[in-house]
Amino acid sequence: MNATALEMAQRIGLIGDLHGDVGALLTISQSMKERDIDVLLALGDVGVPWPGENWSNRLSKISKRLASRSQILYFVEGNHDDHRLLRIFQTGSDGPAELRSNIFHLPRGYRTVLASGKTLAALGGANSIDFEHRVQDVSWWPQESITDDDLEVLGFTHADVLVGHDAPLDVPSLDTVLAGTDRYWSKTGLAYARQGRQMFHRGFLQVSPELYLGGHYHLPVDETVGYFNGRRGFATRVVLLDMVQGHTASNAILDTESLVMEFFTTGGKTVPQPAGQVTDLKMELGGRWMIHTLGSRHLFDLDKLTVERLPGSGAEPLESDRVHSLRSIVSARIGEPGRWTMRGDDLVEYYWHVSSIIRHIERLSS
């Protein structure tokens, strides 16, 4: 195997935050081997190399065990990685940095084409919300932050898959959890973490991926969200893996052709997937729904067949800002403008409504 193994892989084993847990890495490696996975990709916070330990011997131990299984490990950096040490291995090229013959770091802005023809880009790094409690160049590194130079290297070309550590903005299932934990952190830490996520989001919009894979938040997330990059709307499936010390989906297998994923615990137990998210609202679904667009919300009652626009603070008032009888949903798909018709009156048979980009479709009741 060599540095082209990632490009040749039909299936890739994905790993959440390791935090230096070599035992967990080797357990996942064995579980992946039993599923015929030879290429592994860790999504940040690997924690090896790490200062204050014999990290060279640890790398060699990992390399030897991987070699016995004919596996190769790639990784992007997170925030809890020694960024200064990682830069020692970077040769100045934009290709993977070789730490060992079967362990490679994917630098920020790295791009490649997979065997399936799908394109992949990498944008590691994130800001540590607890940086005030860490020691610079011992357990925290300013180089963890994504920079303008990193985004310039990444460029504005679309990639089908983006791998990183942080998360884009406006992921409802993630943001709901984070809002409940803000009280545990200082204002300075929250602002620093928010700044890092905003920088990652800029890169995310530059790439506009179909699938994003990350970690960082120690929370499994699998949600499709609509975005607008200034030129067009697009939908991205955002997948975040749990840390390997958790008990939920901390690793996964990605089929590089279909982009279908299977999820597993650190111990190799399959994690069942919940009922699929509604990404395309249809009349026949029934129930009450809230469509969130860039600037407004739209309340649909598909049992009573009504729709009402609830304009956001910056949205212009429209005729549809009251309860209307719904005539048809022409299109209501995440990542695209919505289009539906409402019944008219004696003068007009029906009205059209064209929304801005749909970001989320929320089920209110079934």
| Per-position DSSP letters for 157-180, written without gaps between them | ---SEEEESS--S--HHHHHHHHT
**For position 344, what pLDDT does the model report?**
85
Residues 6+ apart with CB under 8 A from 218: 17, 242, 243, 246
How many domains does one find in the chain?
2
Domain end marker among 264, 291, 312: 264
Q: What is the mean pLDDT of the chain?
A: 94
**For position 58, what pLDDT does the model report?**
93
Distance CA 308, CA 324 (A): 6
pLDDT in tens, 335-358: 999 999 999 887 888 889 999 999
Domain end marker among 264, 293, 315: 264
Is residue 278, in this structure, part of any structural domain at all? no
User: Are 69 and 162 contained in the same domain?
Assistant: yes
Domain with 325, as residue range(s), is: 283-365
Mean pLDDT across the stretch 200-222? Answer: 98
Is residue 155, in this structure, part of any structural domain at all? yes
Mean pLDDT across the stretch 145-165? Answer: 98
Is residue 158, in this structure, part of any structural domain at all? yes
User: Are 68 and 162 contained in the same domain?
Assistant: yes
Residues 6+ apart with CB under 8 A from 348: none
Is residue 272, in this structure, part of any structural domain at all? no
Residue 22: is its pLDDT beyond 60?
Answer: yes
Residues 6+ apart with CB under 8 A from 201: 168, 169
User: Are 211 and 323 contained in the same domain?
Assistant: no
Distance CA 315, CA 324 (A): 19
pLDDT in tens, 272-324: 987 789 999 999 999 999 999 998 999 999 999 999 999 887 777 776 678 99
DSSP for 237-281, please give it. EEEEPPPTTSSS--EEEEETTT--EEEE-TT--B-PPPSPP--B-
Is residue 162, in this structure, part of any structural domain at all? yes
* 3-state SS record for 190-202: HHHHHHHHHHHHH
User: Are 103 and 13 contained in the same domain?
Assistant: yes
User: Are 257 and 287 contained in the same domain?
Assistant: no
User: Are 204 and 56 contained in the same domain?
Assistant: yes
Is residue 273, in this structure, part of any structural domain at all? no
User: Are 118 and 208 contained in the same domain?
Assistant: yes
User: Are 194 and 294 contained in the same domain?
Assistant: no
Pairing relation of β-strands 350-365 and 111-113? Answer: unpaired
User: Are 323 and 240 contained in the same domain?
Assistant: no
Confidence band (pLDDT; 50, 70, 90) for 2? very low
For residue 121, the domain's CATH number is 3.60.21.10
Is residue 341, in this structure, part of any structural domain at all? yes
pTM here is: 0.95
Is residue 275, in this structure, part of any structural domain at all? no
Domain end marker among 201, 232, 264: 264
pLDDT in tens, 246-277: 889 999 999 999 999 999 999 999 999 877 89
Percent of the chain whose pLDDT exceeds 70 = 98
User: Are 260 and 287 contained in the same domain?
Assistant: no
Residues 6+ apart with CB under 8 A from 175: none
Residues 6+ apart with CB under 8 A from 295: 311, 312, 314, 315, 356
User: Are 181 and 287 contained in the same domain?
Assistant: no
Confidence band (pLDDT; 50, 70, 90) for 1? very low
User: Are 322 and 206 contained in the same domain?
Assistant: no
Q: Residue 263: beta bridge partners?
A: 252
